């Protein structure tokens, strides 16, 4: 991504974050509910691809996402949610002229999304929620698989294959994530959530100056996750008193 494109991407990211914060403040005056601290174990499927310029013909790469989450419910209809995840992304080449060949590069990241959690109760046990916010990710390692051999012509449109062995120079990725989900409450202490998410990456993993191979190399992912949430009512005043007594 060129510097001008990057500045536009950063501005878009900041605008979305500001909108998220504005939504938080707008919902702050909603009626009070007992504050809850919720913890979750979650996992699911990560379907990803990368936007390259010049373009690279791809299919969706199928990976995984798994980790833990914490959610703080401050007001009725509103809370904050943070997660620590391990996710596998990928670049899965598609060769229309060589259907017998395949190549895939998988990339493993640690992800840290911080999202506003807006929820609506649909009866006593059913809940629909919308989450949105920024996400940071850090590249850990990658691997490749495929069956390319001497019969495969790598000289045609060389940018189509440059990503096979290029080093990931930008380890830190950032972007915006949004999700829509359904949550079923088994009891006051336990619930199960199913959610679909979309991530739009604003960073590039390869160098992105005019002299480089790619001007853009950003990730887009669709995740289908399931989370088991454990609920615990909290009182900040009681917590502060306990901390004070402990001192």
pTM of the model: 0.81
Contact call for residues 43 and 64 (beta carbons, < 8 A): yes
Euclidean distance between CA atoms 223 and 87, whole angstroms: 10
d(CA 230, CA 188): 9
Q: Which two tokens stand for residue 205?
A: 């993993």
Buried b (16+ CB within 10 A) or exposed e, 14-52: eebeeebeebbeebeeeeeeeebebebebebebbbbbbb
- Whether 2 has a pLDDT exceeding 90, the answer reads no
Residues contacting 87, CB < 8 A, separation 6+:
46, 63, 64, 65, 66, 108, 109, 110, 111, 137, 221, 223
Residue 150 has pLDDT above 80, yes or no: no
**Structural domains in the chain plus CATH codes:** 3-148+156-246 (2.40.160.20)
pLDDT of residue 165 exceeding 90, the answer is no
Q: Is the pLDDT of residue 236 over 70?
A: no
Distance from C-alpha of 105 to C-alpha of 153, rounded to nearest angstrom: 19
Burial 107-127 (b: 16+ CB within 10 A, else e): bbbebbbebbbbbeeeeeeeb
Kindly tell me if the per-residue pLDDT of 7 is higher than 60: no
Query: What integer is the mean pLDDT of 44-61?
Result: 94
In this prediction, what percent of the chain has a pLDDT beyond 90?
Answer: 59
Cβ atoms of 220 and 50 within 8 Å: the answer is yes
pLDDT reported for residue 233: 81
Question: Region 34-63: what's the mean pLDDT?
Answer: 93
pLDDT for 75-133, tens place per residue? 888 999 999 999 999 999 998 888 888 899 999 999 999 999 999 998 889 999 999 99
Mean pLDDT value of segment 3-31: 50
Per-residue pLDDT, 123: 86
Amino acid 22: pLDDT: 52
């Amino acid at each position: 991504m060129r510097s001008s494109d990057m500045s536009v991407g950063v501005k878009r990211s900041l605008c979305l974050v500001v909108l998220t914060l504005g939504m938080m403040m707008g919902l702050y005056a909603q009626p009070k509910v007992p504050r809850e601290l919720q913890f979750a174990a979650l996992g699911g499927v990560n379907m990803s691809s990368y936007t390259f310029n010049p373009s690279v013909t791809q299919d969706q790469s199928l990976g995984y996402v798994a980790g833990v989450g914490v959610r703080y419910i401050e007001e009725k209809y509103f809370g904050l949610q943070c997660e620590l995840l391990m996710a596998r992304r990928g670049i899965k080449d598609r060769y229309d002229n060589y259907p017998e060949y395949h190549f895939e590069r998988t990339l493993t990241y640690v992800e840290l999304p911080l999202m506003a959690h807006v929820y609506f109760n649909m009866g006593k046990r059913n809940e629909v929620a919308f989450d949105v916010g920024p996400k940071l990710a850090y590249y850990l390692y990658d691997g490749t698989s495929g069956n390319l051999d001497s019969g495969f012509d790598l000289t045609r449109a060389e940018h189509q294959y440059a990503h096979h062995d290029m080093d990931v120079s930008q380890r830190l990725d950032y972007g915006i994530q949004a999700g829509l989900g359904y949550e079923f409450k088994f009891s006051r202490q336990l619930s199960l959530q199913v959610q679909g998410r979309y991530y739009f990456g604003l960073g590039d993993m390869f160098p992105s100056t005019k002299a480089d191979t790619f001007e853009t190399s950003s990730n887009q992912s669709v995740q289908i996750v399931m989370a088991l949430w454990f609920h615990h009512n909290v009182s900040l005043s009681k917590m502060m008193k306990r901390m004070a007594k402990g001192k």
